[in-house]
A and B are shown apart, each in its own frame.
Chain A
Amino acid sequence: MATQASPLDTPRAASPGTAGMPVLHMVIFAGLLVLGLIAPYVLYPVFVMKVLCFALFACAFNLLLGFGGLLSFGHAAYFGGASYVSAHAAKIWGLSPELAILAGTGAAAVLGLAIGSLAIRRQGIYFAMVTLAFAQMVFFFSVQAPFTGGEDGIQSVPRGHLFGLISMAPDRNLYFFVLAVVSIGLLVIYRIIHSPFGQVLKGIRDNEPRMISLGYRTRRYKLAVFVLSAALAGTAGATKAIVFQLASLTDVYWTMSGEVVLMTLLGGMGTVFGPILGAAVIVTMQNYLATFGDWVTIGQGIIFVVAVMLFREGIVGVLARIIKRPL
């Protein structure tokens, strides 16, 4: 897919050596961090935490789609699967939030390894279909397994004490913890993209046969990025479970996989910052249009259509083209 439409056909500006971050990116990251620090005093902290979790989810997904060129239609499995594990860890095992999130991330990585090693044997739509099929199985498992609580989900998950010390019950305490988790996640993704590994990935995305003939074992790279993407999606899901004190079927259902595609597409696949913006827009829309019921669905559909028809590079992709710098 990336051959025709990747907005970043010239992203090599970020030097392959990758020691440093371009100044522009540093400025944007700093700006985002400042926004993140002010936000809880202006907006409802729980809402901002939701945006943060989905931003990380979308960026993790984008790592796979935008940089690996692999469209997964089953990312809900890792997001939701991890949220179950972290909710279970916090509630039943009594783990502190940071450990619960780690547990969720680990579980998502394992799940990603299992599914990914099978799925990467296929390409294009077949790949999308296999990931969808496996995600449906994870969903089925979540409905059936006793520990997930069926459609009730795992409720009243304790927010606990960070490192066993700081109470996470007040929204703002939790907020800064979540901000830290998401920031670390985003920086990890940024680092991956701009590492030599990331350069190889882009090479595979743009022309796999060429990379094979250059001697790269492309499957290994694809599996690695799949697992990384699944794990980071898991971090997002695990964090969300702690924030909302709930893990539910919504997070493993296939519509969640569709939503993350939408966020990424809208913001700009293959861009660093696009998915963050996409997630913010979609979550805000869901939040404020919630009372209008089906108009949310219709609105999402319209965004999909408009994005595919008119700006396949996404909002940030278009901006990047205008300023002629990768974003």
Chain B
Amino acid sequence: MKKTGFIVASLAGLLMAGTAYAQTTIKIGVMNDRSGIYADITGEGSAVAAQMAAEDFGTDKGITVEVVSADHQNKPDVGSNIARQWYDTENVDVIADVPTSSVALAVNDITREKNKIFLNSGAATSDLTGSKCSPNTVHWTYDTWALANGTGGAMVAAGGKTWFFVTADYAFGHALERDTSAVVTANGGEVLGAVRTPFPGTDFSSFLLQAQSSGAQVIGLANAGGDTINSIKQASEFGITQGGQALAGLLMFVNDVHALGLDVAQGLVLTESFYWDLNDQTREWSARFEEKTGKKPSMIQAGVYGAVTHYLKAVEAAGSKDPEAVMAKMKEMPTDDPLFGQGVVRADGRKVHDMYLFRVKKPEDSQGPWDLYETVATIPAENAFRPLADGGCPLVQ
């Protein structure tokens, strides 16, 4: 496991700071996809974000932080193996990030069994704070419910009443379709149909033509990663967007749009909880991030920063790293960081903040390679996430 810690610096800080607190050493394991389709939106960038959080937190509070990282290759078996090993033999206190819902659910279980803390930023499944919720887990950045709610609700409100889904044929795709359908119908829209595509796929033209001939106003892409990118490219190739049908990316990230290019992605509507160009604070942090990584941060990387920051504050407030005490503090203290502003962590582990509906800019409106979005709407925190009572989380009852 690669050690990106900076114990020496921290110890130096500690010596200067005196002895207000007993020294607490914290080991954060950033586990994500470092070689696969999510490597750009998580990967090394998330480890950098965790380290930045530790640096910004400061070394003067008696807390020493070490960051390690590993690649779960988007496989639940690899991820659970790493999690076990980290907790059992390497004294990792916290696992952070973990994109890919199937892996996140596995790490969620193990973390609970071993009584450690899991700060999820990367995974989408809303089950993490619903039926599978755990007293040891905080789900920071987004979830399927929030994405469906943001994109689905806003598109219907903007007149996209009829929908057709192109759904990746696996549990996650089905969940995304299910959640979005619910939002669409709740807002008075209608779902005309769906086509299940083998996962992973390369050629989506056939499915897109089926979507086209359905006559739906909106084609919802209930897929992720390479599937989404290929569907969008091919939709543009077959003149589907030009024909007046709108594409809604239900799980898209700023890096995907950057990779697609504005020519192809323009007009696409999507929901995120963070964009580097939101305000001065996000711009300043993102500039620092870009210096280290050469890329603008994704919302997931920003979420790792936010979650680790809040966790470290909670450790400081609790005066120990005992998981129960720290989790209690995390849920008790309001969150405040430069990237997500103020928010709370709910009893079910859901972090709540504003979400934003973005539209991808036209090439002629873009000022630079990362100037990709215009904000269509801000979804206020109280409406952005699934209501506490609806998730079916046993911790809430």
- Verify whether A and B have any Cβ pair under 8 Å: yes
B89 within 8 A of A: yes
Q: Which residues of A contact B82 (CB under 8 A)?
A: 290
Q: Which residues of B contact A171 (CB under 8 A)?
A: 88
A248 and B1 contacting across the interface, CB-CB below 8 Å: no
B71 within 8 A of A: yes
- Which residue of B85, B89, B106, B174 contacts A246 across the interface (Cβ within 8 Å)? B106
Nearest chain A CB to B131 CB, angstrom units: 12
Nearest chain A CB to B177 CB, angstrom units: 13
- Chain A residue nearest to B101 (CB atoms) is A152
Q: Which residues of A contact B169 (CB under 8 A)?
A: 143-144
Q: Give A248 to B101 CA distance when docked, in angstroms.
A: 13
Q: Which residues of B contact A287 (CB under 8 A)?
A: 81
Give the contact stretch, choosing among B72-80, B186-194, B233-241, B282-290: B72-80
A151 and B71 contacting across the interface, CB-CB below 8 Å: no
Query: Which positions 170-191 of chain B face chain A at CB distance < 8 Å?
Result: 170-172, 174
Q: Which residues of B contact A251 (CB under 8 A)?
A: 77
Q: Mark B45-76, 1 if CB is under 8 A from A, else 0.
A: 00000000000000000000000011101011
- Which residue of A44, A151, A290, A293 contacts B102 across the interface (Cβ within 8 Å)? A151
Given contacts A44-B88, A152-B102, is CB(A293)–CB(B35) below 8 Å? yes
A152 and B80 contacting across the interface, CB-CB below 8 Å: no
- B-side binding surface: helix, strand, loop or mixed? helix
Q: Mark B142-160, 1 if CB is under 8 A from A, else 0.
A: 0000000000000000000
Q: Which residues of B contact A156 (CB under 8 A)?
A: 109
Q: Which residues of A contact B76 (CB under 8 A)?
A: 151-153, 155, 246, 248, 250
Q: Which residues of B contact A291 (CB under 8 A)?
A: 1-2, 34, 69-71
- A-side binding surface: helix, strand, loop or mixed? helix
Given contacts A155-B109, A291-B69, A294-B35, is CB(A250)–CB(B75) below 8 Å? yes
Q: Mark A38-49, 1 if CB is under 8 A from B, else 0.
A: 000000101100
Q: Give A84 to B190 CA distance when docked, in angstroms.
A: 38
Q: Give A173 to B106 CA distance when docked, in angstroms.
A: 22
Nearest chain A CB to B197 CB, angstrom units: 12
Q: Mark A133-165, 1 if CB is under 8 A from B, else 0.
A: 000000000011000011111011000000000
Q: Give A287 to B81 CA distance when docked, in angstroms.
A: 9
B199 within 8 A of A: yes
Q: Give A287 to B106 CA distance when docked, in angstroms.
A: 18
Q: Which residues of A contact B77 (CB under 8 A)?
A: 153, 244, 246, 248, 250-251
Q: Give A143 to B174 CA distance when docked, in angstroms.
A: 12
Q: Give A143 to B2 CA distance when docked, in angstroms.
A: 34
Query: Which positions 100-131 of chain B face chain A at CB distance < 8 Å?
Result: 101-102, 105-106, 109
Nearest chain B CB to A160 CB, angstrom units: 14
B170 and A46 contacting across the interface, CB-CB below 8 Å: no
B106 and A44 contacting across the interface, CB-CB below 8 Å: no
- Chain B residue nearest to A295 (CB atoms) is B35
Q: Which residues of A contact B105 (CB under 8 A)?
A: 152, 155
B89 and A44 contacting across the interface, CB-CB below 8 Å: yes
B84 within 8 A of A: yes
Q: Which residues of A contact B172 (CB under 8 A)?
A: 150-151
Q: Which residues of B contact A50 (CB under 8 A)?
A: 81
Q: Which residues of B contact A150 (CB under 8 A)?
A: 170-172, 174
Closest 7 CB pairs of A and B: A293-B35, A150-B171, A152-B102, A151-B170, A156-B109, A150-B170, A248-B77
Q: Mark A275-305, 1 if CB is under 8 A from B, else 0.
A: 0000000000001001101100000000000
Q: Which residues of A contact B78 (CB under 8 A)?
A: 250, 290
Nearest chain A CB to B192 CB, angstrom units: 24
- Chain B residue nearest to A148 (CB atoms) is B171
A155 and B170 contacting across the interface, CB-CB below 8 Å: no
Nearest chain B CB to A259 CB, angstrom units: 13
Given contacts A153-B102, A291-B71, A293-B35, is CB(A244)–CB(B80) below 8 Å? yes
Nearest chain B CB to A56 CB, angstrom units: 17
B2 and A46 contacting across the interface, CB-CB below 8 Å: no
Q: Give A75 to B170 CA distance when docked, in angstroms.
A: 23
Query: Which positions 221-262 of chain B face chain A at CB distance < 8 Å?
Result: none
- Chain B residue nearest to A150 (CB atoms) is B171
B71 and A46 contacting across the interface, CB-CB below 8 Å: no
Given contacts A246-B76, A251-B77, is CB(A46)–CB(B85) below 8 Å? yes
- Which residue of B35, B85, B88, B171 contacts A152 across the interface (Cβ within 8 Å)? B171
Given contacts A248-B76, A290-B70, A290-B78, is CB(A151)–CB(B85) below 8 Å? no
28 example contacts (A-B, Cβ-Cβ < 8 A) are as follows A44-B88, A46-B81, A46-B88, A47-B85, A143-B170, A149-B171, A151-B172, A152-B101, A153-B106, A155-B76, A155-B105, A155-B109, A246-B77, A248-B75, A248-B76, A250-B75, A250-B78, A251-B77, A287-B81, A290-B71, A290-B78, A290-B82, A291-B1, A291-B34, A291-B69, A293-B34, A293-B35, A293-B73
Q: Mark B88-99, 1 if CB is under 8 A from A, else 0.
A: 110000000000
Q: Mark A248-285, 1 if CB is under 8 A from B, else 0.
A: 10110000000000000000000000000000000000
- Chain B residue nearest to A240 (CB atoms) is B77
Q: Which residues of B contact A290 (CB under 8 A)?
A: 70-71, 78, 82
Q: Which residues of A contact B69 (CB under 8 A)?
A: 291
